[in-house]
Structure 1
Amino acid sequence: MMHLPSPQQLRYLVALAEHGHFGRAAAACAVTQSTLSAGVIALERQFGASLLDRSNSKRVIFTPLGLEVVARARAALAALEAVTETVAASRDPLSGPLRLGVIPTVGPFLLPRLMPALRDALPRLRLWLREDTTERLRAQLLAGRLDLLLLALPCECEGLEVEPVSADPFLLALPPAHRLCAQPGVPAAALTGENMLLLEEGHCLRAQAQEACGLPRSLAAGEEFAATSLHTLVQMVAGGLGLTLLPRLAVEGGVLGGTDVALRPLLGEPGESPSRTLALAWRPRSPRAAEFRALLPVIRAGLEGPAPCPAEEERVPA
């Protein structure tokens, strides 16, 4: 008779792969380091094979077989969680804990409007939030540590089921004395040769701005500054360091912060408004997919509701 590994043993192995350290993996599993180590050794004995290369005592190194077992362990744990989710979803949809991942260029500006709408529409839902880059959130979703993502398209979303929520147009932010302020709307082609300020690599908004607005890669070549947040970008524009693109959601959410930064609509092809797309994403074949889709009208209602900073909203071009 084949002896199957326990879910706890698989959790130990996956945690060790994710943290690369016995102590940190044990802390993540809420057990002692010796307990986790013993669990991994017992698993190896059960399999009759080495999952770890112990020739280097200072680093956690998995054997090729160990890496394959880790991948299958992740899938097995996700399948087990799906069993519980199926029962919970049928018993009381959209209630209890929901682990939501959100990107930094969306969360601070949408959540103040979204949270009241969620509380009113779904009073039994308990929302747990995690803010991070798209790449890291995607990894946490696939690993089963998050249930749902609120992100922006286009992005690297392979392996996820994605449902668009709403378009989020881009606006051009520039110093008030800049020559382009004389135009009621600025064509994307007019940005060639301008000093465009972008977020640093790793933020999906960087590529979204370039793709949605047709900005050539050369615009960002040799740039001396790269910001880690939209607030920093705004301050750089206010200091006369260049121009940037801001999502309308962020402007309505108060990212200008009382600065004298000017805004102009960005003009794309005739009939097009350069934008990104807000979207929800979850694991394929999730038993809670129907629940997640039911959140779409609630989120859209939050977007249509009043912005938290009316003074800033008045400055957004129509």
Structure 2
Amino acid sequence: MTFKDLEYFAILAKEKHFGQASVQAGVSQPALSIQIKKMEAELGVCLFERSNRQVVLSPEGEVLLERAQKILRQVEDFQTCARQFKDPYQGQLILGAFPTLAPYLFPQIIDELHQSYPEMKFFIKEEKTETLLKMLKEGKVDAAFIALPHEDSTLDSEFIFSEEFLFATPANYPEDFPNELSLQSLKGRELMLLDEGHCFRDQALELCSVNQARENFDFRASSLETLRHMVAAGLGVTLIPKCAQDESAKIKYMKFSDPSPKREIALFWRKTSPKAEIFREIADDLRDLFKKS
């Protein structure tokens, strides 16, 4: 069995179709079919259940796929590490962030990264935190921006920046507020929040619980942009991270007095990553960038 066999196995498992998988693998469909059959014969295991329209993994194939993907990631890490010895500042980096951060963070930092690391190509992924951490561990992203606290013995991290939460109301909200609110001002209020799975929702719920506020169950948003539009339409109030503050005349943003609620963002990567030192350098550069802003 060869490394190529494992690649074919993983591609077919993903595509679930010999024609599509053969295009992805860069071989003819008959050649791919022959290699998979040879692999099954060598292992003595049926990896796929076949029909005229598609192929699906057998129960045995499901178990073996996880191990095959692990081997493929290790080989990729091996090759990456070898390239790093030649020039650690070439190649590509895939950076991830969660949806309430990615659209606001990446436009701020991507030019800085290109200037500091001109020979590197940067690609970005936006996913919810749980998915992002899974992708990070599977090697599908090289590093990810995650809200603290987060503990994982397989990951290293560096703090990057913190940002305040703002209280957002419609501009014509009937109640007058001071320029800076105390957290006690949240008491008894209903706040519009994000859907399940967003770490910013969890942070907002914690603030609501501590300060006797509650969620507005009539509405949940899938994004911060939707939340802002709902506030602008006069349908309620919410919390917004400072990075998402806009210049809309229809929304009034208010700061909280100290100690103000905030979130802390760190860059995480696998401890085994051959790019670990580069991530530490990137973290240093970004900390300096946010100190200046």
Q: Give the TM-score normalised by the residue count of structure 2.
A: 0.84
Which of 68, 74, 77 does residue 73 from structure 1 map onto?
Answer: 68
* Corresponding residue number in structure 2 for 1:227: 221
Gaps of 5+ in 1: 307-318
d(CA) in 2 for partners of 1:186 and 1:165? 26
Q: More deviation in 162-171 or 287-296?
A: 162-171
Q: Which residue identity lines up with residue 236 of structure 1 in the other structure?
A: M
d(CA) in 2 for partners of 1:192 and 1:236? 21
CA contact (8 A) 1:165 1:296 kept: yes
Which of 65, 85, 105 does residue 80 from structure 2 map onto?
Answer: 85
Q: How far did 1:39 drift?
A: 3.5
Change over 3 Å in CA distance of 1:219–1:121 after alignment to 2: same
Change over 3 Å in CA distance of 1:245–1:85 after alignment to 2: same
* Corresponding residue number in structure 1 for 2:3: 7
Change over 3 Å in CA distance of 1:178–1:296 after alignment to 2: same
CA contact (8 A) 1:164 1:279 kept: yes
* Corresponding residue number in structure 2 for 1:289: 276
1:258 paired to 2:248: yes
Number of residue equivalences: 293
Change over 3 Å in CA distance of 1:223–1:45 after alignment to 2: same
Q: How far did 1:234 drift?
A: 0.8
1:104 paired to 2:99: yes
Change over 3 Å in CA distance of 1:188–1:84 after alignment to 2: same
SS of the counterpart of 2:56? coil
* Corresponding residue number in structure 2 for 1:275: 262
1:165 paired to 2:160: yes
* Corresponding residue number in structure 2 for 1:42: 38
Q: How far did 1:169 drift?
A: 1.9
Gaps of 5+ in 2: none
CA contact (8 A) 2:166 2:241 kept: yes
* Corresponding residue number in structure 2 for 1:238: 232
SS of the counterpart of 2:165? strand
SS of the counterpart of 1:224? strand
d(CA) in 1 for partners of 2:123 and 2:198? 22
* Corresponding residue number in structure 1 for 2:193: 198
Q: Which residue identity lines up with residue 139 of structure 2 in the other structure?
A: G
Q: How far did 1:31 drift?
A: 4.9
d(CA) in 2 for partners of 1:25 and 1:275? 46
- Give the structure with the larger strand fraction: 2
d(CA) in 2 for partners of 1:260 and 1:205? 23
1:183-216, Cα deviation, whole Å (9 max, x unpaired) = 3333444324323112222322211322366468
How large is the RMSD of aligned CA atoms in angstroms? Answer: 3.1
CA contact (8 A) 1:135 1:156 kept: no
d(CA) in 2 for partners of 1:81 and 1:40? 22
CA contact (8 A) 1:154 1:208 kept: no
Q: Give the TM-score normalised by the residue count of structure 1.
A: 0.78
CA contact (8 A) 2:18 2:54 kept: no
d(CA) in 2 for partners of 1:42 and 1:279? 47
Q: How far did 1:56 drift?
A: 11
Taking every aligned residue pair, what percent have the same amino acid on both sides? Answer: 33
d(CA) in 2 for partners of 1:257 and 1:24? 47
Q: More deviation in 280-289 or 137-146?
A: 137-146
Q: How far did 1:145 drift?
A: 2.8
SS of the counterpart of 2:218? coil
d(CA) in 2 for partners of 1:199 and 1:273? 21
CA contact (8 A) 1:188 1:215 kept: no
1:160-195, Cα deviation, whole Å (9 max, x unpaired) = 433321212211111234466423333444324323
Change over 3 Å in CA distance of 1:24–1:302 after alignment to 2: farther
